Amino acid sequence: MRLLAFDGRMGASGDMLLGALVAAGADPSVLSPVEDALDVTYRVHEVDKNGILATKVDVLLAEADGGDPRGEGHGDDHRRLRADGDDGADSDDGGDGDDAEHSHQHQYRHHDHAHDEEQTHHDGDDSHGQSQGHDHSHPHSHDDHKHHHAHDDHAHAEGHGPHRTYPEVVDLVESMNLPPGVVADATAIFRVLGEAEAEVHGTDLDATHFHEVGADDAVADVVGVCLLLDDLGVDRVVTGPVAVGGGETEMSHGTYPVPAPAVVNITAAADWSVRGGPVEAELLTPTGAAILAHLAEGVETLPSMSVESSGYGAGGWEFPDHPNVLRAVVGDGGSRLVRDEITVLETNLDDASPEVLGGLQATLKDAGARDVTIVPTTMKKSRPGHLVKVVVKPEDAERVAYRLAVETGTLGIREHGAGHRWTARREFETATLDIDGDDYEVSVKVASDADGVVYDRSAEYDDALAVANETGVPVREIMRRAVDAVASEAGGT
């Protein structure tokens, strides 16, 4: 199994994920559909982060008039660059690689950006759903890290472009002629982002206008990550605990603690854990959180793997003791099962009739249950009863719970919350058996791991029983012959 592991001890953002994937071996040329659809350019270059060579990916927005671009986003999440003949990649500070020295005496990226026109600027990867105005009135010092600015015919894409609703973002992604899996992942990530923002502001997903999330650079980040991941061809993505940073961040509605409200909502549903620090700054952005929440499983340590490639994606922060990078490691994680998200429903029954229990498995499976177990148990007052346990997908839980209630009359059903199970990849093959000159077909279930290694075959009982009844051959003999036939065709034993 091809495995991708992220080390998020210095957080994650859209541009850090882009850089990490390119550094780990993904081909940036696969990003061209996004460039064509949005009229943006991805600029890939290398920077030095505290002695670590890291890859920086900047999204550049073409500006037709060639004037002085707006919204430079000195302290924002991406610190986007405008295209220039000298990209400044050799800058000693390993920061943004611009030209004119421009530094800040504080660490926090909470400047307010107010444009000349009536346009609200939002951090494309820091999607707090808040407007930010910037008057450049804060003190500057040339003793800290340097931010350079080049002026030409490209503007930073950060927060710029149309501000779209969630359905409009989905329509845009679907119009890019992308692989189906990329479309599915990208739209799912935008749903995670949108639902988090809607919850923060008490609005409806479809009616909420995405400002940062729907802007061109955020679309470029999300779709770009999905394209690069598809190019890497990994089967599993994991991440260790992700650092959120600390301190406070300024938004138009006031000063908020780090992590931002949207990040808190996203991480609440993520499979991985977060931790504070190691610096007083915002390290995990909503876009970075949403991408990882959809794509990655949580692990505490790097899984066993044979490393094939690795790389670092650069963020925009400069800290004296901590390189602001996201590490990606790609390799062979060995053969294993497929991870599936489930939840478990339970209820105790002390008065259900045998007739109800006898048909309950079929009824609940028709409603969406993956598995149903009925176990005899002893209930209060030493009365005999039954424990019914139902495995369902989280999205089917409410429907199956209702069916369980109306079928049994139970007054309460316990849900154990989202969990996971490890499953084989299952396919069905048909065995044709010659019995006394007649052909009979029996379905055989084939179980394999994620690498396609078959480790079990089992004939379907109902098919075997039908053949046994018609031919007089014992059921277990029919099942054995069916399995042998499929194994023989596959070249196995």
The CATH number of the domain where 446 resides is what? 3.10.20.300
Whole-number pLDDT of residue 161: 58
| Confidence (pLDDT) at 289 | 97
Same domain, 429 and 362: no
Q: What is the pLDDT of residue 212?
A: 53
Which pLDDT does position 162 carry in this prediction?
A: 66
pLDDT value, residue 55: 98
The structure tokens listed for 492 are 């196995």
Same domain, yes or no: 53 and 95: yes
Are residue 303 and residue 383 in the same domain, yes or no? no
**What is the reported pLDDT for 445?**
93
Q: Coil, helix or strand for 174?
A: helix
Does any domain span residue 182? yes
Instruction: Pick left, alpha or beta for residue 481 (phi over 0 → left; psi -120 to 50 → alpha; otherwise beta).
Output: alpha
pLDDT at 335: 62
Q: Each residue of 394-423: b (16+ CB within 10 Å) or e?
A: eebbeebbebbeebbebeebeeeeeeeeee
Q: Do the strands 254-257 and 248-251 form a parallel or antiparallel pair, or are they unpaired?
A: antiparallel
CB atoms within 10 A of CB 360: 22
What pLDDT is recorded for position 232? 96
- Provide the pLDDT for residue 416: 84
One domain for residues 215 and 262:
no
How many residues in total does the chain contain?
493
* pTM of structure: 0.59
Q: Where are the beta strands (DSSP E) in 204-303?
A: 236-239, 242-245, 248-251, 254-257, 274-276, 297-298
Which stretches of the chain drop beneath a pLDDT of 70? 63-162, 208-214, 252, 335-339, 418-420, 450-451, 492-493
Q: Are residues 326 and 346 in the same domain?
A: no
Range of the structural domain that residue 401 is part of: 338-422
User: How crowded is residue 110: how many other Cβ atoms within 10 Å of its Cβ?
Assistant: 21
Whether residue 387 lies inside any domain: the answer is yes
At 139 the pLDDT is 37
Q: What is the pLDDT of residue 62?
A: 74
Alpha-helical segments (H) within 175-269: 180-201, 216-232, 261-268
Residue 392's Cβ-count burial label (10 Å; 0-12, 13-18, 19+) is: buried
Domain count, the chain: 4
SS3 content of the chain, % helix, strand, coil (to 5): 30, 30, 40
Please give the pLDDT value at position 203: 85
